Structures are given as structure tokens and as C-alpha cells.
Structure 1
Amino acid sequence: MLDLVKKHAPVTGDQLAEHLGVSRPTLRSDLSLLVMLGMLDAKPKVGYFLGNVLDTGNRSARLFQSITVREVMGIPVNIPDKLSVHDAVITLFTENADTLLIVNDHKRFVGIVTPKDLLKITLGNSSAAAIPISLVMTRYPNIVTVLPDDSVLSAIHKMLLHQVDCLPVINPNPDVMQLPEVAGWLSKSNIVRLMSDASAAEQGEACL
């Protein structure tokens, strides 16, 4: 998306959606995040431009590059792969989770399931509630992940590149044949919170 803005700026949200082959509402959250991060600038009735955060000398860019995922990640909601779809739906709502991470008997990361996945399997399917969640989930390694020591900036780039709102954080595993362990969870909410804290700190410095 950033390459498209660089090439066509100023470009509207509708034009970006047309270039990417998606609907305008699909891009809304990504565009809002990019503007908040300073990666894009927006002018009403004109369009989007590249923001100055992409300049490596920019303070915001240095901040996101220097802070690791470990420092801002949240605690994921993990469920066992033998859990039923019915119980997964209950967990989703009781934990107020956007996504559930699935682990096996050895607490290894095996997949994720989203509300959209659960909606697809349950609509018009009276027997769906008893189906094991392992038959519904997206399986690892077909999932975009980050490591605890990755920079927040690299995680943001992954979110934008793959158009996802959150990323499972996994511990590095020297044995590539073995499934990884879940270390945490990084969402756009974590990043927005980081931005808010950084902004408050800057305002405090300015008052000194």
C-alpha cells in the first residue's frame, strides 16, 4: 500500500481500494493506523501522501525500531485443539477476544481461529457445535507470526503487508521440525497504546 501511495500520491482511499482489489471499508482500519503512525499523511478532499515517519531520522521511526515486540505484546487467549466449536464460541465472548490461539497437548502452537471462521462453520450447520476446533482453525505455519525480539516497526510492516489486525508472538525454536511455543499476542490496540504513551511522554517533556 505504501508503494502505491508513493507512486500515485495524492491518492484517495477509493483509488487505493481499486488498485488493491478490495472494498474501501476493508482498508479503513489500515489507513487510520498508517496515518496515526505517521507513515501516511492525509488531506481532506485531496488524498493520502507518504508521511515523514519513513525517514529513518524521524523520532517516531526510531521509537518503533528500538522497541521490541516483547515490550508491548499482550497475553493471548489460548484454547486446546480438542475443544469444540461451541466451547470456542463461548470462550471468544467471555474473554472478549478478537482471535483464539490453538495449542496442542504439549502447549505447542498449532493454529488460530477467528470469529469469521466460527461464523462460517456455524451458519446453517446444526451439528457444528460439536466439531473440534482443530477442523476449523487455520494451521501453523500458514499464519503470519513475529518473534519477541523483533522490532515493533517490523511487526507493523508485517501487519500492513499481510493485511492482518494482530499477530501471534512465538518463541524462536532451534528445532525447525518442532512446533513453537506461544509467547504473546500483538494487536493494533497494543501499537495504538504505545503511540499514546509515547505522545504523553513527549508532552510531559515539553512541559519541563
Structure 2
Amino acid sequence: MSHIRKEGTIIQLSSRQLELIELVKKHSPVTGDQLAEYLGVSRPTLRSDLSLLVMLGMLDAKPKVGYFLGNTFRESHEPLQRFSRMKVKEVQGVPVNIPDTLSVHDAVITLFMENANTLIVVNEEKRFAGIITPKDLLKITLGNSGAATIPVSMVMTRYPNVVTLTPDESVMEAISKLSQHQVDCLPVIVPDEEPSRNPIISGWVSKSNIVSLMADIATA
């Protein structure tokens, strides 16, 4: 989130509100219906976000024309502009990797020991094979006494059925994917020149990465 000071009060902007600002910046003037279509949500879902941004002066609106950037953004919102230029490779973190032969039992231990919300699974070549989440582990272990010995390769979400990022994608695109797919983190991959080989895992971007980044920018 980003923090905006308004008449002595600090107001936090959500990732969706930041994304709305970027969409308006790119497409203005743009209607509320068009913004809803870009984000894949209904128009009523955005009503409160748009009202807040107009109230803050981040956006302006004209009837039958649409939304465009407001004076507050144009005059004094360099932190957001700087944020919008950032690439994934500048903010990605170090993922928690586990081999695809690891047992479900050991994966659960790793999850808690590393305080992670997702585990990245790699194959024998140390290349990206898939992901494991707490929900995946819960599904397989509930009511299944023999689940602990099952290898994670049997229960992981396999690549390419995983939403991913590449290092040169923008941070705003990362926010969009995190929001759209309702996930806690996204693996960052470097595709191999040989299509038959799995990609190299470069890092990951999590919601906590984004929140920390925005906090750093807002207080810089």
C-alpha cells in the first residue's frame, strides 16, 4: 500500500487503487465501465475506490467523458510515478525451494520453519517444476493417514499451470496478477531457450514484498 497525507490524516491506498491510477494514467480519459473491464471486475466493485481517489484529488472525473489524473497526482505524486517504473527484477525476493522428491511431511515442516505461504518445487535439474501452498498440503493430509510419505510432486500445482512473472515485467503487472488470481506470491522465471526444458527460477514476488516496497517509497 501507499500512504497519502490528506489534511493531517494518513490514508492508505490499496493495490487496486494504485492500479486504477496507472490505468487512468495510461488510457485517460477512460470510463468507469472500461476500468472495470480492464480489471475484470464489475463497475459497482470499483465505485468506492474511484470515489476515494477523486476525493483525494488523485483522479478527476467529467460526466460523459471519464476519469483522468487529478491535480494531486500531477503535482506531487512522484513516489507513485517512481513505483510504476520499477521492474520485477528490482523487487523480487529469494524463494523457498524444495525438491520434487520431498515428502509432504517434510514440506509441512519446511513451510512452518521458513514462515512461508508458498513453496517453490524444483526438479533434479534445479529448474522450476511447480508450487505447493498450505491449502494443497491441507487437502492431501486431511483424513489420509498415509499422506505424509507422498512426494510433493504428486500434489503440487505443476508448471505451466502456475501464474508466473518474468524479471522484466513491471511491478504494476505483478500487482495486477496477484490481485486478479487471488494468490499470495508469484514465481519469477527465466524461460529456457529450449522449450522442452523447464524454466530457471529467478525469485518470487509476494504481497509482503509489495507492501514493504510501498512503505519504503512512501517514507523516502
2:92 maps to what in 1? 73
Unmatched tracts of structure 1, length 5 or more: 1-30, 41-45, 202-208
Percent same amino acid at aligned positions? 57
Q: CA-atom RMSD, angstroms?
A: 2.4
Question: Is it true that 1:107 corresponds to 2:126 in the alignment?
Answer: yes
Residue 174 to residue 87, structure 1, CA distance change in 2 (3 Å): same
Mapping for residues 1-208 of structure 1, pairs under 5 Å: 32-35=14-17, 37=18, 39=20, 47-49=48-50, 51=53, 52=58, 55=69, 59-201=78-220
Query: What is the TM-score of this pair, normalised by structure 2?
Result: 0.68
Q: Name which structure has the greater RCO, CA cutoff 8 Å, separation 6+.
A: 2
- Map Cα deviations across residues 45-99 of structure 1 (whole Å, 9 max, x no partner): x833264488596645532331111111111000000000000001001111100
1:18 maps to what in 2? none
Q: Is the 8 A contact 1:109 1:140 kept in 2?
A: yes
Q: Is the 8 A contact 1:110 1:140 kept in 2?
A: yes
Unmatched tracts of structure 2, length 5 or more: 1-12, 22-46, 60-67
Q: Is the 8 A contact 1:109 1:182 kept in 2?
A: yes
Q: What letter matches 2:219 in structure 1?
A: A
The Cα shift of 1:141 comes to 0.2
2:25 maps to what in 1? none
SS at match of 1:91: helix
User: C-alpha distance in 1, partners of 2:112/2:86?
Assistant: 31
Q: Is the 8 A contact 2:136 2:155 kept in 1?
A: yes
More strand by share: 2
Q: Provide the aligned length of Structure 1 versus Structure 2.
A: 165
